């Protein structure tokens, strides 16, 4: 205990020159291109409230980077010298969160502003695992120390919306103009502290179209195995950011090039090596990118359903080859795929439920007679299942005619739907497709009941 106290005192003395030493480059509003119209009013309110209370407060990180690139930020983070408890005291709806490092979420309606306290550069009490990954680190420090703790130079920029100044400690603006992604400090050491930084490097480079600095890029391939030590929940969050960035295709391509696709989604590398699977996945990702860039909503459940579908399909067809009943075989294939994935990736339950329903609806699109189509369009997940069917058709996994029929059915009037059902019933034969038409048990003919006028052979879904 005494040794720890002595070490902390020594650390504080060592830090004094750093506090007074490194000064940031101050870039006035006249020299940068930040458009204040792109700045969140909620972020402005947080900064103004903390500054009025006598604290320093700045918009920091990705929001400043995007503002300098004339991109509207998705979210805003604030850095301040106020402690979490002090931050919380200034706002009615504020919540302290986090274990590894405490943060405050300040709520304004549906918008959340994340506020962090400046972090110290050296903390002898911080907890690390045997691989060097930081587990807990809640020692607060000065702004220059906080800047050195951030990952990339372009994410270590501070914007004071009151004065309009940008504070730059690590030539981040210069790297932005050179379209270069560069790690602050020793890259190998920073990756060891937090292996997720390797994924972030790929995501930022793909999203922004930046080149990764050679010193930053070199350790990634040989240190990729460290990603195995990242908690599944955090890995899932990072993967979701990557896939919903609007640049998922570029991200997956870069992941492959850097050898980082292993361990993110088990079997993703196998899927991408199979022509049919790769075509389907890349088509799904490209359409997701289009929706994100157009400002449309996307469903994480649908996205992960597309990524893992090829694995379900392979397992399903393998069971059908053994003459298993078609629907139970599909359900078992789904169970096997989900169980394999959740060992590595903490996919949230609500997303898993969406995935199961989307997959489970696919055989029902084959049934276009009787009341089945009318019941199917009333299903809560019909639209997601229908979009999934169209994706399969576009990837030549299903007949294009089937997708066209359902498109006409969706747009048709009640009378036109009845006619489409009649047309479907009059079609002779069917084209075998993946997961369909093999190993299917014959349906028993229901016996008609005598004496009560009931019709025999009633249609069933």
The catalytic residues are 75, 77, 151
Centroid of chain to Cα 100: 21
Any alpha helices (H) in 395-434, and if so which ranges?
400-411, 414-426
Rounded CA gap, 245 and 207, in Å? 7
Helix (H, G, I), strand (E, B) or coil at 448: coil
**Contact partners, residue 236, CB within 8 Å, separation at least 6:** 345, 346, 347, 348
- As given in the structure block, the two tokens for residue 355 are 């995935």
Rounded CA gap, 263 and 241, in Å? 16
Helix (H, G, I), strand (E, B) or coil at 261: coil
345 to 95, 228, 253, 312, 367: CA distances (angstroms): 27, 11, 20, 16, 34
Residue 183 bridge partners (DSSP)? 152
Any alpha helices (H) in 74-229, and if so which ranges?
84-89, 143-149, 172-178, 187-193, 196-208, 214-223
Residue 128 bridge partners (DSSP)? 134
């Amino acid at each position: 205990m005494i040794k720890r106290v002595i070490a902390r005192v020594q650390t504080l003395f060592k830090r004094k020159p750093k506090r007074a030493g490194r000064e940031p480059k101050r870039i006035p509003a006249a020299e940068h291109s930040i458009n204040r119209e792109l700045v969140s009013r909620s972020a402005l309110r947080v900064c103004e409230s903390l500054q009025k209370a006598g604290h320093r407060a700045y918009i920091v990180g990705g929001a400043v980077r995007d503002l300098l690139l004339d991109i509207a930020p998705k979210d805003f983070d604030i850095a301040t010298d106020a402690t979490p408890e002090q931050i919380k005291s200034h706002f009615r709806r504020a919540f302290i969160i986090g274990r590894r490092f405490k943060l405050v979420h300040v709520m304004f309606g549906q918008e959340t502003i994340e506020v962090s306290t400046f972090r110290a550069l050296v903390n002898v009490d911080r907890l690390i695992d045997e691989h060097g990954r930081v587990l807990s680190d809640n020692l607060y420090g000065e702004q220059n120390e906080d800047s050195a703790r951030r990952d990339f130079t372009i994410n270590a920029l501070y914007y004071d919306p009151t004065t309009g100044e940008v504070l730059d400690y690590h030539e981040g603006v210069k790297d932005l103009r050179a379209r270069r992604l560069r790690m602050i400090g020793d890259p190998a050491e920073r990756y060891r502290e937090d292996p997720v930084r390797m994924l972030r490097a790929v995501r930022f480079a793909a999203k922004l179209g930046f080149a990764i600095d050679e010193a930053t890029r070199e350790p990634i391939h040989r240190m990729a195995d460290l990603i195995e030590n990242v908690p599944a929940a955090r890995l899932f969050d990072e993967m979701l950011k990557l896939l919903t960035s609007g640049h998922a295709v570029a991200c997956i391509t870069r992941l492959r090039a850097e050898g980082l696709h292993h361990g993110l989604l088990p079997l993703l590398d196998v899927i991408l090596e199979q022509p049919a699977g790769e075509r389907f996945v890349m088509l799904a990702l490209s359409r997701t990118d289009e929706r994100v860039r157009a400002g449309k909503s996307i469903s994480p459940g649908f996205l992960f359903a597309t990524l893992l579908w090829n694995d379900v399909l392979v397992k399903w067809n393998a069971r059908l080859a053994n003459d298993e009943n078609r629907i139970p075989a599909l359900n078992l294939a789904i169970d096997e795929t989900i169980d394999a994935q959740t060992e590595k990736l903490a996919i949230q339950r609500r997303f898993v439920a969406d995935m199961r329903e989307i997959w489970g609806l696919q055989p029902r699109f084959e049934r276009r007679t009787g009341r089945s189509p009318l019941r199917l369009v009333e299903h809560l997940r019909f639209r997601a299942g229908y979009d999934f069917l169209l994706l399969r058709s576009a990837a030549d996994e299903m007949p294009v005619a089937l997708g066209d029929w359902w498109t006409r059915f969706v747009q048709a009037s009640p009378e036109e739907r009845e006619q489409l059902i009649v047309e479907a019933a009059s079609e002779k034969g069917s084209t075998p497709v993946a997961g369909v038409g093999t190993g299917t048990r014959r349906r028993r003919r229901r016996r008609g009941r005598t004496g009560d006028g009931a019709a025999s052979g009633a249609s069933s879904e």
